[in-house]
Chains A and B, each alone.
Chain A
Amino acid sequence: MYFARLNGLTVQTATLKNPNLPHAISRQLLLLVNKDSDIFQNFLVEMGERLQDLEDGLEELEQSYQPDLINKLFRAVHTIKGGGGFFGLSSIADLTHDFEDLLMKVREGELDFNPGMVPTFFAACDALRDMHEADDHGDSLDVSELCKNLKKLQEGETVEIISEPESDISTETEEETEPPEVENISEEQKPEEETAPKEPSSTASAPITKSEKKGGQIKNETIRVKVDLLNKLMELTGEIVLGRNQLLRQFSDMGNKTTLLAMAHMISDLQQLVLQTRMQPIGSTFTKFNRIVRDLAKQLDKPIRLNIKGEDTELDRSIIESLSDPLTHLIRNCADHGLEDQSTRLANGKEREGSIWLEAKHEGGQVAISVRDNGRGIDAEKVKAKAVANQVISQAEADSMGENEAAKLIFHPGLSTAEQVTGLSGRGVGMDVVKSTFEKLGGAIDLETKLNEGTNIIIHLPTTLTIMSSLIVRIEGDRFAVPHSELKEVIRVRPEDELQIEEIRGQEVYRLRGSLIPILTMAEITGVNKEPDLDQEHQKSDQECMFLVLHSGTNQFGLRIDSIDHTEEIVVKPLAQMLSKFSYYAGSSILGDSDVAMVLSANGICQSHKLHNHELESQLQNQLSLEETQLIDMQEKQDLLVFRYAADEQLAIPLSLVFKVEQIDLDSIQSIAENHFIDIEGRNTLLLFLDQHLKLKPLPEDLKTYYIIVPKIDDFHVGIVASTIEESVHMRLNLDSPPVADMAILGITRIREKITYLIDLFSLAEKVSPERFKSHRKLCNPERDRLLVVEDTPFFRDLERNYFESVGFRVTLANNGSEALDLLRDRPNHFDLVVSDIVMPVMDGYELVKHMKADSSLQRIPVVALTSFSEEEHREKALAAGFDDYAIKTNKETILHSVNSFLTEE
């Protein structure tokens, strides 16, 4: 590091600290070293890094004192001092000089560290940071007050720091009775000290190098590389990847291509590594918020704690660079609007200190950053009112909006909820800019809020922008690349399917699990109608069609495609300027067969088509009449596994209850008496022959192998024997009650024109081992245990009713939250417990529970969430929303257990 080499000079400038001299020297030096020169720019970079070290060290010091930390601070300050002196930045040099002296005294043990010093340290650090960022690098800044404080500490005095920002310091100096004298004193003191530093700094250099060596062993060694070089490296690697793809394709039918494949692998590794060189931990961006929040807390007079998590999450450099501004905006919003002032917080029973959480983590190939506060939340009604007043949405739209959706309106340009515009935020610009910044980076922003509990803003970002795994599809003869990060799923609609693409007001839509998504065609997106290819392409669309479900943030839409080619890692090349206005393209790319394909951008398509969920939803809601809602109900579908036991009898079980299916040889079966076992994943599994438990024909005699279906039910480790596995179907279940009253048969349906028994695995389990599966029976009192089951899917509705009635509950059914609420409000005392699905049309489980908990006559009724999500975060979300418990649909045991626990308590 050249500053070490410059130390001689540094000390020189430091010794000559007559107020007039630094200028003379700096002038001289400036002749040598122009501020525009590389060397000066290097210094600024270096100083920035050292300031970061300083801030990090101070944060740690605030927590606990360790001698090592003082060393770290000392080194940072020392380096800055060196550079500042060399370039004649007198304010920086003066301040760091006194700072360094103080730190040295602490380090050498001449002075004991006391926590009271930390605020002064921070103040000095902040002042340095300001000078670093200022255009004149602090030449105009008065640091005498700070220097005086540092000196006072050196003398062992205490310093009362009330406020550190320099603006305040200058006012303070004005209040001072005789400021010039103070300065004089400090100057007079200097000459005595001036001679001193020379010595300590030379003696000090020994321990420094020592500790640096020590640090070097722990830390990875780093080297500074020009970004430009990295970019070129990246570009070139991209080309090599393309070349590899082309080679692989060219030689795809060659026999022995070991060398080629080995090289291809190495190129993949190379690509990974080069990508990594551009990756940086997000930490440096995050830690600077410590200071911002500290300043904000002071300015707003609110105590705020910033909790940072996931600083080591890595992102592409270019993305990290663009994150700082929008995140600053979000954090300021949290501090300014989100968090209440102290008295309000105390009055609301919250702790005095507000908290902001800033977290980053990897999530499904993307990085999720969340900015959360525990403040007042966003008042959805207020936002709606404002949006209606500003004509962003209509009253009707506003009425149909949920809380979170309404809160998302703040991303609209021209909406700000702050009643009072402050200097910091609330000017009604910003959130839309924040949103578009993230979208430009290929990310998406989402928001959750709860009145009086806080707001959580989640940003999803791709980890890198340059190489993307993409799906190559054909649309009307052309090939397009769709990045996987924007692709949710591919759906094929066959003519025999229940769910078809429908048309509402000339716009094609599709019902995707209860929500309606618009289906676009390339012609609609580009506004160019291709002359129809009258051959197969068109005929095909009559029979069968396929579309991609793309998403940008929370917006979803379908894009019609003809076929899927393959998946490929592509390098996205920016479009030529003259094409850049076509925002529905993210760029172009060269595929493995050296063809050029356009890369589609879901964000761009959403923007150019102004697709916003709430607009569409409300538009559709106006359209949807009663019959439409019935349609949703009718069109819920199930995944079923269809198999046979006897050759001509078709059976089915819900696929969601299947753990795995295996084919086994008869030889591998071992028997003890009547029981047959097989080893599946190291577990001895009992084989279940259905004809022993159900009225079915026996298995065909001539089988060489069996299929074993292992169900996903706790404590029921059996393998259901099947002769053949037919298929798995996704269909609407039209269930008739079984002809023979058999508990284990849920009903009869037709699958591919064949009569099929749908097996109720839980009842089957009960039949097989009654002692284990009926233990919970009749714990409850049938006189008063009246259950309301809210479930939109007919299949689960029946299944759940079955569960509950089998153990003696009296069950009432509702199709969705709104129906349930009507029932409940009609007869508030009629129900003892509500069991509700979460995802439902019209009114979902979250809304239902919210309404119930807000209604004094209903809030006593416990509500159990019943869903097919098994992830812990859904559980947390459900409990946070007000559900009293949470159970997985397919697990009868936990359902009954949680239901019982509520009813027996009373």
Chain B
Amino acid sequence: MLYSTFYLGETQMGLPIPSILEIGRGFDFHPVRGAPEVIDGLINLRGKVVTIINTGLAFETQKVLASDESRVYILKNNAELREVADADFDIETSPDNIGIHVDRIADVISVEKEELQPVPANINHPFYKHVVRRGNEFIIILEPQKILNLNENQELLS
């Protein structure tokens, strides 16, 4: 399957392309007063209001700051995911679209199932699903459903 990868600080991460609605930049974030900092704000995606998560804060690294290089991945919601129904997606996620704000976009990579390795216990995080090795680099594959269901991870929201 194809994965779109991006950088969060120096860490490279990937999301399966079928789970991505689009990748955009230059959005105006509209802050939600009272919401936790991990929520960057809301954007107007062609008439749809989408909540954006600051991936940096969600992974407890450096906060992602809006820049020319930063991008927003808009993840598909339940209904949209169902349309690309694939055995790999076990889709009972969220009725809402969620966006994740990342530092920098990188290559699209093709990964065979056999290459997916379990996440080492010491870098565990609810969003991490697999690790893929590319040369000397490790790429962390994220689980879109978990991100979409952020509200189940209340500790992240506090």
Nearest neighbor of B43 in chain A, beta-carbon distance: A596
Name the interface size band of chain B: 20 to 34
Q: Is A352 an interface residue (CB 8 A)?
A: no
CB contact under 8 A between A579 and B33, given known A239-B47, A242-B47, A595-B44: no
Q: Is B108 an interface residue (CB 8 A)?
A: no
Interchain CB contact under 8 A, B39 and A596: no
Interchain CB contact under 8 A, B44 and A576: no
Interchain CB contact under 8 A, B44 and A596: yes
Within 8 A of A (CB), among B77-129: 94-96, 98
Name the interface size band of chain A: 20 to 34
User: Which of B31, B34, B44, B48 has the most CB atoms of chain A within a 10 A radius of its CB?
Assistant: B34
**With A and B bound together, what is the CA distance between A363 and B108 in angstroms?**
60
CB contact under 8 A between A588 and B49, given known A582-B34, A582-B35: yes
Interchain CB contact under 8 A, A598 and B51: no
Interface 0/1 of A647-677, CB less than 8 Å to B: 0000000000000000000000000000000
Q: Which residues does chain A contribute within 8 Å of B98, judged by CB atoms?
A: 576, 578
Nearest neighbor of A582 in chain B, beta-carbon distance: B34
Interchain CB contact under 8 A, A522 and B35: no
Interchain CB contact under 8 A, A528 and B49: no
Q: Is B32 an interface residue (CB 8 A)?
A: yes
Nearest neighbor of A239 in chain B, beta-carbon distance: B47
Interchain CB contact under 8 A, B39 and A579: yes
**With A and B bound together, what is the CA distance between A242 and B31 in angstroms?**
21
Q: How far is the CB of A704 from chain B (nearest CB, A)?
A: 54
Q: Is B42 an interface residue (CB 8 A)?
A: yes
Interchain CB contact under 8 A, A478 and B31: yes
Secondary structure class of chain B's binding surface, majority of residues = mixed
Q: Is A590 an interface residue (CB 8 A)?
A: yes
Of the residues A526, A528, A590, A598, contact of B44 by C-beta under 8 Å: A590
Q: Is A547 an interface residue (CB 8 A)?
A: no
Interface 0/1 of A587-618, CB less than 8 Å to B: 01110001111100000000000000000000
Interchain CB contact under 8 A, A578 and B51: yes
Of the residues A528, A530, A577, contact of B94 by C-beta under 8 Å: A577
CB contact under 8 A between A596 and B49, given known A578-B157, A579-B39, A585-B32: yes
Q: Which residues does chain A contribute within 8 Å of B42, judged by CB atoms?
A: 588, 596, 598
CB contact under 8 A between A526 and B51, given known A577-B95, A595-B28, A596-B43: no
Q: Is A148 an interface residue (CB 8 A)?
A: no
Q: Is A682 an interface residue (CB 8 A)?
A: no
**With A and B bound together, what is the CA distance between A573 and B157 in angstroms?**
21
Within 8 A of B (CB), among A362-397: none
Q: Is B151 an interface residue (CB 8 A)?
A: yes
Q: Which residues does chain B contribute within 8 Å of A39, judged by CB atoms?
A: none
Q: Is B25 an interface residue (CB 8 A)?
A: no
**With A and B bound together, what is the CA distance between A266 and B51 in angstroms?**
32
Q: How far is the CB of A855 from chain B (nearest CB, A)?
A: 52
Interchain CB contact under 8 A, A582 and B28: no
Interchain CB contact under 8 A, A528 and B30: no
Q: Is B150 an interface residue (CB 8 A)?
A: yes
Q: Is A643 an interface residue (CB 8 A)?
A: no
Secondary structure class of chain A's binding surface, majority of residues = mixed
Interchain CB contact under 8 A, A598 and B33: yes
Q: How far is the CB of B90 from chain A (nearest CB, A)?
A: 19
Interchain CB contact under 8 A, B33 and A577: no
CB contact under 8 A between A576 and B96, given known A522-B33, A584-B34, A598-B32: yes
Q: Which residues does chain A contribute within 8 Å of B95, judged by CB atoms?
A: 577
Q: Which residues does chain B contribute within 8 Å of A585, judged by CB atoms?
A: 32
Nearest neighbor of A238 in chain B, beta-carbon distance: B47
Of the residues B34, B44, B94, contact of A594 by C-beta under 8 Å: B44
Interchain CB contact under 8 A, B33 and A478: yes
Of the residues B31, B49, B96, contact of A577 by C-beta under 8 Å: B96
Of the residues B34, B151, B157, contact of A526 by C-beta under 8 Å: B34
Q: Which residues does chain B contribute within 8 Å of A596, judged by CB atoms?
A: 28, 30, 41-44, 49
Nearest neighbor of A608 in chain B, beta-carbon distance: B34
User: Which of B31, B48, B49 has the most CB atoms of chain A within a 10 A radius of its CB?
Assistant: B49
Nearest neighbor of A522 in chain B, beta-carbon distance: B33
Q: Is A48 an interface residue (CB 8 A)?
A: no
Interface 0/1 of B30-72, CB less than 8 Å to A: 1111110001011110011111000000000000000000000
CB contact under 8 A between A597 and B96, given known A242-B47, A578-B39: no
Q: Which residues does chain A contribute within 8 Å of B150, judged by CB atoms?
A: 578
Q: Which residues does chain B contribute within 8 Å of A526, judged by CB atoms?
A: 33-34
Q: How far is the CB of A137 from chain B (nearest CB, A)?
A: 33
Q: Is A19 an interface residue (CB 8 A)?
A: no
Interchain CB contact under 8 A, A597 and B51: no
Nearest neighbor of A525 in chain B, beta-carbon distance: B34
**With A and B bound together, what is the CA distance between A478 and B98 in angstroms?**
22
Of the residues A530, A579, A595, contact of B30 by C-beta under 8 Å: A595
Within 8 A of B (CB), among A67-122: none
Q: Which residues does chain A contribute within 8 Å of B41, judged by CB atoms?
A: 596
Within 8 A of B (CB), among A5-21: none
Interface 0/1 of A515-532, CB less than 8 Å to B: 000000010011110100
Q: Which residues does chain A contribute within 8 Å of B49, judged by CB atoms?
A: 573, 576, 588-590, 596
Q: How far is the CB of B48 from chain A (nearest CB, A)?
A: 8
Q: Is A243 an interface residue (CB 8 A)?
A: yes
**With A and B bound together, what is the CA distance between A60 and B3 in angstroms?**
69
Within 8 A of A (CB), among B12-41: 28, 30-35, 39, 41
**With A and B bound together, what is the CA distance between A583 and B35 in angstroms?**
11
Interface 0/1 of B136-158, CB less than 8 Å to A: 00000000000000110000010
Q: Which residues does chain A contribute within 8 Å of B30, judged by CB atoms?
A: 478, 588, 595-598
User: Which of A576, A584, A585, A594 has the most CB atoms of chain B within a 10 A radius of its CB?
Assistant: A576
**With A and B bound together, what is the CA distance between A476 and B34 in angstroms?**
13
**With A and B bound together, what is the CA distance between A580 and B32 in angstroms?**
12
Within 8 A of B (CB), among A566-583: 573, 576-580, 582
Interchain CB contact under 8 A, B47 and A590: yes
**With A and B bound together, what is the CA distance between A584 and B48 in angstroms?**
21
Q: Which residues does chain A contribute within 8 Å of B34, judged by CB atoms?
A: 525-528, 582, 584
CB contact under 8 A between A579 and B47, given known A525-B34, A526-B34, A595-B28: no
**With A and B bound together, what is the CA distance between A594 and B150 in angstroms?**
26
Nearest neighbor of A585 in chain B, beta-carbon distance: B32
Interchain CB contact under 8 A, A528 and B33: yes
Interchain CB contact under 8 A, B47 and A243: yes
Nearest neighbor of A235 in chain B, beta-carbon distance: B47
Q: How far is the CB of B158 from chain A (nearest CB, A)?
A: 11
Interface 0/1 of A545-582, CB less than 8 Å to B: 00000000000000000000000000001001111101
Nearest neighbor of B153 in chain A, beta-carbon distance: A578
Q: Which residues does chain A contribute within 8 Å of B50, judged by CB atoms?
A: 576
Nearest neighbor of B36 in chain A, beta-carbon distance: A578
Interchain CB contact under 8 A, B44 and A579: no
Interchain CB contact under 8 A, B32 and A579: yes
Interchain CB contact under 8 A, A578 and B151: yes
**With A and B bound together, what is the CA distance between A457 and B46 in angstroms?**
44
Q: Which residues does chain B contribute within 8 Å of A239, judged by CB atoms?
A: 47
**With A and B bound together, what is the CA distance between A528 and B33 in angstroms?**
7
Q: How far is the CB of A585 from chain B (nearest CB, A)?
A: 7
**With A and B bound together, what is the CA distance between A590 and B32 in angstroms?**
14
**With A and B bound together, what is the CA distance between A530 and B94 in angstroms?**
31
CB contact under 8 A between A576 and B51, given known A527-B34, A582-B32, A596-B30: yes
Q: How far is the CB of B65 from chain A (nearest CB, A)?
A: 17
**With A and B bound together, what is the CA distance between A527 and B158 in angstroms?**
13
Q: How far is the CB of B85 from chain A (nearest CB, A)?
A: 21
Ordered nearest first, which 4 A-B pairs have the shortest CB separation? A526-B34, A578-B151, A596-B30, A576-B96
A positions within 8 Å CB-CB of B: 239, 242-243, 476, 478, 522, 525-528, 530, 573, 576-580, 582, 584-585, 588-590, 594-598
Known contacts A578-B96, A589-B49, then 6 further A-B pairs from the complex at CB < 8 Å, ordered by chain A residue: A476-B33, A577-B94, A577-B151, A579-B32, A595-B44, A596-B41
| 17 residue pairs A–B, Cβ–Cβ below 8 Å | A239-B47, A478-B31, A573-B48, A576-B94, A577-B94, A577-B151, A578-B96, A578-B157, A579-B35, A582-B35, A585-B32, A588-B30, A589-B49, A590-B47, A590-B49, A595-B44, A598-B42
